[in-house]
Structures are given as C-alpha cells and as structure tokens.
Amino acid sequence: MHLSRSVAALAGVASIALILAGCGNKSGQAKKTITTSTDSELTTVDPSKTTAVGTFNVLNNVDEGLVRLGKDSKVTPGIAKSWTVSKDGKTYTYNLRKGAKWSNGDPVTAQDFVYSWRRTLNPKTASQYGYLFSGIKNADKIQNKKATVNSLGIKADGNYKLTVNLEQRIPYFNLLMGFPVFFPQDSKTVTKYGNDYGTSAKTQVYNGPFTLTGWTGTNNKWTLKKNTHYWDKKAVKLDSVKFSVQPDTSTSLNLYNQGKLDMSQLSATQAKQMGNKKDMISRKQSSNYYIAFNQKKKVFKNLKIRQAMSMIINRKTLANKVMGGGAIDNRSFVSEGLAVSPKNGTDFTKDTTAPASMNYNPTEAKQLFKQGLQEEGLTSLHFTLLNSDGSDQKQLSEYLQSALQKLPGLKVTLNNIPGRSILSRQASGQFTVTVANWFADFSDPITFLNILTSNNPSNISGWKNSEYDKLIKASNADDGSNANARWDDMVKAQNLALKDQAIIPLYQSGEKWMVNSKVKGVIYNTAGANYNFKDAYVK
C-alpha cells in the first residue's frame, strides 16, 4: 500500500504516515484519550478506493473484517466468531456474530461482505486494490471484464454464514481477511451518499471499536470515538484517539514538549539530538521507498539511463545520514524482516541477489548515462522529481537532486506537493519521475512483487516484463500449494525486476517517536494496517 501500507504506502504512492501517540497528563490523573499527530491528510475512508496507509490505519480501528490481526499479525476472531477450511484449502466457511452492528444500528450480515467485495472488484469502482482478490473464484475474470461481479466466489448463506471459494490454495488468505480492503460495507449507506460516500466522517458508517468524527473531508483534525454499537465494546478502554495533521516534525515535537501532543514522530536530525531518551521508541516498517520512472516517456525505457541513476545514489549515506530514524539499505524491493524461506529460514532479502546497478559506482554511472543519452540522440536531460512535502521527504528530494545532477547533462527540478495530491498524480500518470513507496499489506513477499506486474493499477511506472508476469502468476497459482516452488518463483521475480531496474529501490523506512510511557496496549504490526487501538489504555 502507499504510505502515502506503504501504507505504503500505497502507499500508495506518496509519503503519508499514521503516528501512534502516547499520553501525558500533568495532573497525574488517568485519562481515556490519546492525542496523536499524523503528517498527512485523510483523502477518503472508502475502503474500495483508498491506497493510503494512513487511511488504512483509520479503517482498521473504525471498521472490522472477518478477522482482526493481533500482535505480530496473529489472526484472531473479528466479525467471524469461527471458521473452517476444506482439506484442499480452497473453501473457507465463516460463522458470523449475530450481535455485530453498524454505528447506525443496522446488523452486520454476510451480505455486507458480499456487497463490499463485489463493489471493490467492479471495474466501475476503479479500485487499485482489486488485484488482491486474485485467486478467489472468478476475481481475475471480473477484473478483466470477462465475468460479472455476481460470479465472484463469495456467497451469503443466510445472514450469518459466509462461504468463500478459491481457484487455488492461498497460503496467506486469513491474513488478507484482516486487511481493510476485505472489510464489509453497508450498501444502504453507499447508495444514500453516492459519490460523496466516504468523503467525510458523516458519509460513512462503522462497525469497529471506534467511529470517525470531526473529519469534514478537507480539515486537518479528526477523532476516533468509542463505538457504542461495537459487539466487543466492553473490551475497548479508550474513549477517543485524537489526530491532528503536523507535516513539520519541529512543530510536532514542540507540541509534544508542551503536553499538547502525546507523541511526536522525530526527524533523523531530531532523533540524533535526543540521544537515548527513555520515552523514545523505534518502529520498524515493512516498506520500500523507491524512484519510479514514467516509462511512457521514451527516454526512460532506456535501461542504461535507469541503471546510471541507480548507480549514482549512495544508499548507505542515504539511509544512515539523510533519512535516519531506523532507515536501512537492504538492496531489495521486498522489505527485510517480512518473510523467511520455508527451506532454511533465510530472510527473503538474503535469498535474492542485488545487481551491480544497485551498488554505488559514480564512474560507471556517468559512463552509462552518457551512453544512454547517445542512444536516445540526446546530449542532456531535464526532468521534474515529484515527491510529497513532509519535512523528511523534502530532505530526501534535495539529496536525490544533488546526487542525480552529478550525472553530466542531467538537471533535476524538485516539486514537493501535499500527500492529498500526490497519490492522484501518480495513479493517473501525471509525473515524469517520482519518489514512491509501498508498505506491505500482509506478511508475504508477494505483497510487494504483485504491484510490478504489467496490469497492476499500482504499477505506476508502466514497466512490463512477460517473464516476470509468468513467475508471479505461477507463485499465485500453479505453485501456490508448494511452498518451496512458490518461494523460488518470488526470488527469481525480484532478481529479474532489479536487474532490469523496473524501479530504483532507495531504502526501507523506520521511525523514531517520543512517546509517553503511560500509553499501554497499542498493537503495532510492520505489515498491513499498522495500528490497532482496540486494547489500548492509559495507565
């Protein structure tokens, strides 16, 4: 997902991050509110249309799917109180809770899941996440307009029994069920608000631990308020979680120090200045920030030009000196720590091989760039680098501009815009070169690798490779029941994409925060929707 998990996201593909908050209280008395900040605006809370990790984090707390992901992405019962899986792994039967309700008092039924999935897959919805349904019966055909949405392999047997039929075994299927794209939707509400559905807090209903309030669709503040209709409301200890947009980490830190914010995300410089403060914590992220070229532009189809731009970037300096905050150079598109080999437990990033173009080599880079320009009949190149306007991303843009302009004949102009705009620009191809990101939707390498397939809506670069597509298809189908063969498919696919410089991976992000120690019980997962406030409380 675009952060902009990734999230990533897109995460999308901008720089958006939900910030978890701690809680301070000068009087020493306990309170039931966490006040937090985020560096990006909300754009929509329509689960069929968003790609932003910040929105998915909100949806993960105001809504609930068949399952809820606990600590370390452990699958726990959600709207489904129990389920069974057939021996061949192709049929899932979920038994739903009869006490689950929407915030308007309507019951949550199996039909709400059927409606939601069909709506997301309907080509008219233009969802960028329809590909995640691949493997569910007829999902790909529906995406390709070769079957109707009603033929999707999901069926409501009465109000509280849901059956899902797959075309092949999907090893990570229940992890997907904990991701907001698979959450239910209330058809009555969608119909009532039409095009305005999900564009503000009041044009949506909620079935999770909290409801969204105070968001008009354009303002920079909103609140997650305890949902009195939630089936497990007795387990929810917080009354509210309050958010405000703070793009500048200096402003955020000042508010934290004044007791007006309970947590502040730190920039790399701030983290260094803070040293080892006891209320500083680190968050590892299953993410990748990368450069994407619009390959509809002929010049960027030239492999030597793409390789030269990759070689001129010193990723070690970028991760450690420029970004900081726990950022790492893993020479990979798939994030480190996401998945390990079924054969020997080796991390995915260690099983794959980074090509020479991922190594810092300014001499070779300049030669390649000169050759690439000659092949295109050019003596110089000028483009605008699009990125989001958060303070860290501005710093990243400036570093990249400095590094790239060491290539003779290259001029780079910077354009840093709000996160609200960048996802739309990237999705519609309104860019020449952009910094993008992806945050893992679930704990499996395919969550990254899928987006580089030829027809994936999140493949914003437009890079296409038939052999890559075959490897990904095999991992999702023919080899889906053979863990070792599936792993090999994915390893080969990443090696191919990196060798062909489909995109230029830059770094895997990490974050450092100032958090009051009184906040307890917040669940953070590196993949998917990161934050789960259901069990959070203030000591």
Q: Please tell me whether residues 238 and 295 are part of one structural domain.
A: no
Q: Exposed, middle or buried by CB within 10 Å (0-12, 13-18, 19+), for 204?
A: buried
Task: Provide the pLDDT for residue 213.
Answer: 98
Q: Domain holding 199: CATH number?
A: 3.90.76.10
- Checking if the pLDDT of 402 tops 50, the result is yes
The neighbouring-strand residues paired with 412 are 383
Same domain, 430 and 531: no
Residue whose C-alpha is closest to residue 40's, from 77, 9, 63, 83: 9
Residue 336 lies in a domain: yes
| Overall number of domains in the chain | 2
Whether pLDDT at 8 is above 80: no
Is it the case that residue 27 has pLDDT exceeding 50? no
- The answer to whether residue 271 is domain-embedded is no
Residue 267 lies in a domain: no
Find the radius of gyration of the CA atoms of the chain. Answer: 23
**Is residue 14's pLDDT more than 70?**
no
Measured distance CA(387)–CA(406) in Å, rounded: 20
Q: Which helix (H) or strand (E) holds 269?
A: helix 268-274
DSSP, res 522: -
Question: Can you give the pLDDT at residue 528?
Answer: 86
How far apart are alpha carbons 148 and 471 in whole angstroms? Answer: 27
> Percent of the chain scored above 90 by pLDDT?
70
Mean pLDDT across the chain, nearest whole number?
90
pLDDT attached to residue 24: 41
- For residue 279, is it within any domain? no
Q: Round to whole Å and give the CA distance between 189 and 205.
A: 7
Q: pLDDT tens digits for 464-505? A: 999 999 999 898 777 777 889 999 999 999 999 999 999 999
Take residue 198 and report the two structure tokens written for it. 């999900």
Distance CA 109, CA 86 (A): 23
Adjacent-strand bridge partners of 134? 136
The answer to whether residue 23 scores a pLDDT higher than 70 is: no
Sheet with 263-265, edge to edge strand ranges: 263-265, 510-515, 280-284
Query: Same domain for 181 and 293?
Result: no
Judge if 318 and 430 occupy the same domain: yes
CA distances from 266 to 5, 59, 104, 286, 398 (A): 20, 25, 39, 18, 19
Q: Please, what sign has the CA dihedral across residues 69, 71, 77, 79? A: negative
| Residue 197 pLDDT | 97
Same-domain check for residues 50 and 168: yes
pLDDT digits (tens, 9 = 90+) for 72-81: 889 999 999 9
Classify burial at 284, counting beta carbons within 10 Å of its beta carbon; exposed 0-12, middle 13-18, buried 19 or more.
Answer: middle
pLDDT at 18: 36
Region 183-206 average pLDDT: 97
Q: What is the pTM for the complete model shown?
A: 0.77
Cβ pair 327, 509 in contact under 8 A:
yes
CATH of residue 493's domain is 3.10.105.10
Higher pLDDT, 64 or 14: 64
Question: Helix or strand or coil: residue 418?
Answer: coil
480 and 438 within one domain? yes
Q: Report if residue 268 sits inside a domain.
A: no
Same domain as 235, residue 87: yes
3-state SS, residue 484: helix
Ordered alpha helix ranges (H), 69-172: 110-121, 139-143
Cα–Cα–Cα angle for 346, 348, 352, nearest 5°? 105
pLDDT-derived band at 397 (thresholds 50, 70, 90) equals very high
Assess if residue 11 is contained within a domain: no
Q: Reduce the DSSP state of residue 327 to 3 states and report it.
A: coil
- What range defines the domain where residue 168 resides? 33-242+516-538
Indicate the pLDDT class of residue 13, thresholds 50, 70 and 90. Answer: very low
Q: What is the pLDDT of residue 435?
A: 97
Which two tokens mark 188? Answer: 């009555």
Which amino acid appears at position 423 of this protein? L
Residues 341-352 pLDDT 10s: 999 999 999 999
Asked if 341 and 478 sit in the same domain, the reply is yes
Q: Answer whether residue 204 is part of any domain.
A: yes
Note whether 459 and 528 are same-domain residues. Answer: no
Q: Is the confidence at residue 65, as pLDDT, over 60?
A: yes
Residues in a beta bridge with 318: none
301 and 355 belong to one structural domain: yes
Q: Is 380 exposed, middle or buried (0-12, 13-18, 19+ CB in 10 A)?
A: exposed
Report pLDDT digits (tens) over 509-534. 988 888 888 888 989 988 888 899 99
At residue 2, the pLDDT reads 59
Are 522 and 474 members of one domain? no
Decide if 164 contacts 176 (C-beta within 8 A): no
pLDDT for residue 29 is more than 70: no
Q: How far apart are CA 352 and CA 121, in angstroms?
A: 33
Residues in Cβ contact with 59 at an 8 Å cutoff, skipping those fewer than 6 apart:
45, 47, 50, 180, 183, 529
- pLDDT tens for each residue of 257-281: 998 988 788 877 788 788 778 889 8
Q: What is the pLDDT of residue 15?
A: 32
Burial of 344: CB neighbours in 10 Å, binned 0-12, 13-18, 19+: exposed
**527 φ/ψ angles, rounded to the nearest 5 degrees:** -115, 155
**Residue 11: per-residue pLDDT:** 33
- Could you report the per-residue pLDDT of 201-216, keeping only the tens digit for each? 999 999 999 999 999 9
Find how far residue 454's CA is from the centre of its chain: 20
Residue 495 shares a structural domain with residue 471: yes
Chain Cα centroid distance, residue 179: 10
Residue 485 lies in a domain: yes
Contact assessment for residue 434 and residue 386, using Cβ atoms and an 8 Å cutoff: yes
Could you identify the residue written with the tokens 């949902």?
227
Paired residues of 437 in beta bridges: 289
Average pLDDT of the segment spanning 102-120: 97
Confidence of residue 41 (pLDDT cuts 50, 70, 90): confident
Provide the pLDDT for residue 284.
83
In this prediction, residue 117 has a pLDDT band, given cuts at 50, 70 and 90, of very high
Least confident range from 116-120, 328-332, 472-476: namely 472-476
Distance CA 330, CA 242 (A): 35
List pLDDT tens digits, range 124-178: 998 988 989 989 999 999 988 999 999 999 999 999 999 999 998 888 899 999 9
The percentage of residues in the chain with a pLDDT greater than 70, rounded to a whole number, is 94
- Per-residue pLDDT reduced to its tens digit, 241-263: 999 998 888 899 999 999 898 87
